[in-house]
Structure 1
């Protein structure tokens, strides 16, 4: 068969399998479609399909097919991260800066410390630290992976739970937005390359000037043109960030972060995000699954994933509980917010992919992080739903 025919077989599998599992299995309550797509990607990867049916695996996912899928996935996830940057609402966070900074700081800082401790433990054993990593980079990367909240997936889950437009939803969005900035800032710090620091300084200086120019331009052109100019800006920032060693994902996020969401029609933005999840992101999830490797770490991968999950969940809940005590929240409010901020799938996967690309973690560590991200996200809806039913006064209360 030709490469194009095999590529279409792969696409058929990517879109058919997760959809049938999600729809016929009615998994929406504990595993939204995006989670099913990630899990299916893992099952189709070398750790499961490749291990049990190597001939089928190598036939469908040949090198040319993987290259084609990777190219689609790369551009799709850049668009998704760019949208996440645009949707940051820093003005609202600044209006409620004391509450937002305390909550976001503790919700990020405590699981980062817990995850960092787990990372120190992992670094003591071979097979986890990447070939290009200094120990502090590995530990900080693992810690931040435990602290991540995926803003796009959080928005989708809040829409599903019908709290996105409610006061509690907007509060959670503020906290997650501040954490998003810190997440990408820490990633940029981890990726600092002293041999290429001149390039990085030059890129950031040029980016600052270009950002002022793009902001000047965007308010002077009609809204339909802003989308096209924005995509050109995205490609340029991704190229510049990758050229200087910061990775194109960092470029994609900062390309969106310097833009204002009110420049774009919100309905169009929501539609683009949903269509990306339907049309392109399944390919990214499959590509992510193809990078998992259970054999490299064996049972240790699952042990590490369990430890990381415990660090991530307990750290987030303790952090929001402390914030609640400081800010005098009602009983149970910190727990509700802590569980909503557990959604790690997608952005944590992007974060871990960058660490793997830069050889700061191994395939075994990547697999453990992926399992942790899926587990924490799957816990969110089943635990939050009954909490919301019991705490309606908190959902509708303005702060």
Structure 2
């Protein structure tokens, strides 16, 4: 078979297998299609399908095909996250800056402390800390892995729950975006990459200057030119953020945040969002799973998974509850926000893969983190959906802010 035929065969598997599992098994309530796509990506990866059918896996997902798939997936998630950033109203960010900083800090800090506690506990047993890690690096790495919120998956779940453009969705975007920037900054400290820390500061400074120039230029451009300039801006921000070690998804989100949605026709924005969701995002979810190598380990992995799940979910919920008390939220808001913010998914996979590659964690720890991420994400919709339904009866979801 030619390379183009093998590529199309891989794309056929990427789009058909998750869809058939999702539709035939009717998993939508506890595992929406996005979650099935993530899981199927891992199943089709080198550690499962590659282990059972190594020759077939190497034939279909050869390096050239995987590289092409990764390129499509990377572009898709950049567009998707930029559009999510466009949904965030900067005026509301500034108006509710105290509430946003308080909630983001607590929703990151409390699970971080819980996760660090779990990491300290694991240090007493062999097989969890990586060969190149110091104790504090392992502890902080596990803690931050428990504090992660997966922004792309959160956006897709909010779209499914129909709250993305409601005040609740805007609040969650504010909290998750602040945490996302902090996560990659802390990763640079864990890896002792001081050059990367300097690059991050330089990128943020340059980004501020470029944003000022962009906003002055965009209002003077014809409507048709704004779309093309927006794509150039997206690529430049993604490149700069990735070079700085903040990850290209952070750059893509920031690129969207500083643009105004009213620069573009809302109907076209909606159409682009739906097309990216349908055409490109499945490729990204599968491509991430294809790069994931994990080792199931022994039964102890499941006990550690439970420990990490408690630290992650419990930490997010407690952090949100503390924020709710400080900010005097209505009854039920804190638990809903906490459950949505504990969504892990893809960012957890990327974060944990870096820790594994750098020797901070072992394959067994990576497996426990993956199981924790899948479980926490699958819990989100079944728990949040009925809460939102009840909240809608009292007007909670329509509330604008703190």
Class of the TM-score when normalised by the shorter of the 2 chains:
0.7 to 0.9
> Would you say 1:311 and 2:311 are equivalent positions?
yes
SS at match of 1:67: helix
Contact 2:146 2:312 (C-alpha < 8 Å) held by counterparts = yes
1:187: Cα distance to partner?
4.7
Give the 3 Å change call, closer, same or farther, for CA 316–386 of structure 1 in structure 2: same
- 1:371 to 1:58, Cα distance in 2 relative to 1, 3 A: same
Corresponding residue number in structure 2 for 1:3: 3
Provide, for residues 128-153 of structure 1, a one-character-per-residue CA deviation record: whole Å limited to 9, x for no partner: 55677665555444333322333443
**Distance across 1 between alignment mates of 2:10 and 2:347:** 24
Per-residue deviation at 1:192? 6.9
**1:229-308 correspondence to structure 2 within 5 Å:** 229-295=229-295, 297-308=297-308
Q: CA deviation at 1:195?
A: 4.6
User: 2:123 and 2:370 mapped to 1: Cα distance?
Assistant: 18
1:116 equivalent in structure 2: 116
1:191–1:245 CA contact under 8 A, matched in 2 = no
Displacement, 1:247?
4.3
Residues 1:132 and 1:8: Cα distance change in structure 2 (over 3 Å): farther
Deviates more, 1:157-166 or 1:191-200: 191-200
Q: In 2, distance between residues paired with 1:188 and 1:87? A: 28
Judging changes above 3 Å, is the alpha-carbon distance between structure 1 residues 339 and 245 closer, same or farther for their aligned structure 2 residues? closer
TM-superposed CA distance for 1:64, in Å, is 2.1
CA distance in 1, matches of 2:318, 2:43: 33
TM-score by length of 2: 0.84
Name which of 389, 394, 397 aligns with 1:395.
Answer: 397
Match of 2:73 in 1: 73
Paired with 2:340 and 2:198, the residues of 1 have a C-alpha distance of: 40
Q: Deviations over 1:137-171 (max 9, x none)?
A: 55444333322333443343334334445444444
Superposition RMSD in Å: 3.2
Listed as ranges, the gaps of 5+ residues in structure 1 are none
Which deviates more from structure 2 when the two are superposed, residues 356-365 or residues 282-291?
A: 356-365
**Distance apart, 1:9 and its partner CA:** 1.0
CA deviations 1:174-197 (Å, max 9, x no partner) are 433443444455456556733566
Aligned length: 399
Alignment of structure 1 residues 47-126 onto 2, 5 Å:
47-122=47-122
Deviations 1:8-67 (A, max 9, x none): 111111100011111222211111111010111111112221222222222212222222
| Matched-pair contact (CA < 8 Å) for 1:193–1:245 | no
Contact 1:292 1:364 (8 Å CA) reproduced: no
CA contact under 8 A between 1:192 and 1:245: conserved in structure 2?
A: no
Counterpart of 2:224 in structure 1 is 224
SS at match of 1:395: coil
Gaps of 5+ in 2: none
Bigger Cα displacement from structure 2, 307-316 vs 286-295: 286-295
**Range moving further from structure 2, 21-30 or 101-110:** 101-110
Contact 2:200 2:245 in 1 (8 A): yes
| Pair 1:65–1:359, CA change in 2 (3 A) | farther
Asked whether the 8 Å contact 2:189–2:197 carries over to 1, the reply is: no
TM-score, length-normalised on structure 1? 0.85
Deviations 1:197-246 (A, max 9, x none): 66656555444433322222222212332221122122223333444555
CA 172–25 in structure 1, closer or farther in 2 if over 3 Å, else same: same
Q: Which residue of 2 aligns with 1:16?
A: 16
Matched, 1:322 2:328: no
Q: 1:379: which partner in 2?
A: 379
114-123 or 318-327, larger mean C-alpha shift: 114-123
Tell whether the 8 Å contact from 2:292 to 2:349 is kept in structure 1 after alignment. no
